[in-house]
């Protein structure tokens, strides 16, 4: 008897998948981290944020949408502008998770520094 295999092809962009975004997805992207950093200093309009990046305005809008879905920022319409405000309390889970590894990485870096200090210093014989 022949061995038959069945191949299943899933087209994921056609299936309705309702996944809730979380803070870790928000901070996974360097542009979103930079947006968070900007908004931690001051509330900004969408246009003001977009001007600070060399990516398209639609790309910035998509990043802002993700940050909003993750509840890290909120939009408020003030006059004709939509301002973005940071919601720092939603970053707390990521901060707590990162903090638990801080000592580990500090110890690893200290160990590496100690190792480097034990290596003989190279002298420059070409002078």
Using pLDDT thresholds of 50, 70 and 90, give the confidence band for residue 123: low
Q: Which of 6-10, 54-58, 61-65, 84-88 has the lowest mean pLDDT?
A: 6-10
0.85 exceeded by pTM? no
pLDDT over 80 (residue 125): no
Count of CA atoms in the C-beta half-sphere (13 A) of 125: 2
pLDDT digits (tens, 9 = 90+) for 80-90: 989 999 999 99
Question: How many other C-beta atoms are found inside a 10 Å radius of the C-beta of residue 29?
Answer: 13
Residue partners of 44: CB distance under 8 A and separation at least 6: 38, 83, 84
Residue carrying the six token digits 């002298």: 123
Helix (H, G, I), strand (E, B), or coil: what is residue 6? coil
Q: Residue 109: its pLDDT value, please?
A: 92
Q: Are 35 and 69 in contact (CB under 8 A)?
A: no
pLDDT over 50 (residue 20): yes
Closest among 37, 36, 34, 61 to 47, alpha carbons compared: 61
Q: Residue 32: its pLDDT value, please?
A: 96
Average pLDDT in the chain: 85
Give Rg (Cα) of the chain: 23
């Amino acid at each position: 008897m022949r061995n038959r295999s069945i191949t299943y092809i899933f087209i994921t962009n056609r299936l309705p998948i309702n996944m809730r975004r979380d803070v870790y997805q928000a901070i996974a992207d360097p542009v979103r981290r930079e947006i968070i950093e900007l908004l931690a200093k001051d509330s900004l309009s969408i246009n003001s944020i977009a001007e600070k990046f060399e990516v398209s305005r639609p790309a910035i809008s998509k990043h802002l949408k993700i940050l909003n879905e993750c509840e890290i920022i909120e939009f408020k319409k003030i006059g004709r502008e939509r301002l973005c405000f940071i919601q720092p309390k939603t970053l707390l889970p990521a901060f707590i998770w990162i903090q638990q590894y801080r000592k580990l990485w500090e110890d690893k870096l200290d160990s590496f520094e100690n190792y480097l200090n034990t290596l003989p210093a190279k002298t420059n014989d070409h002078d």
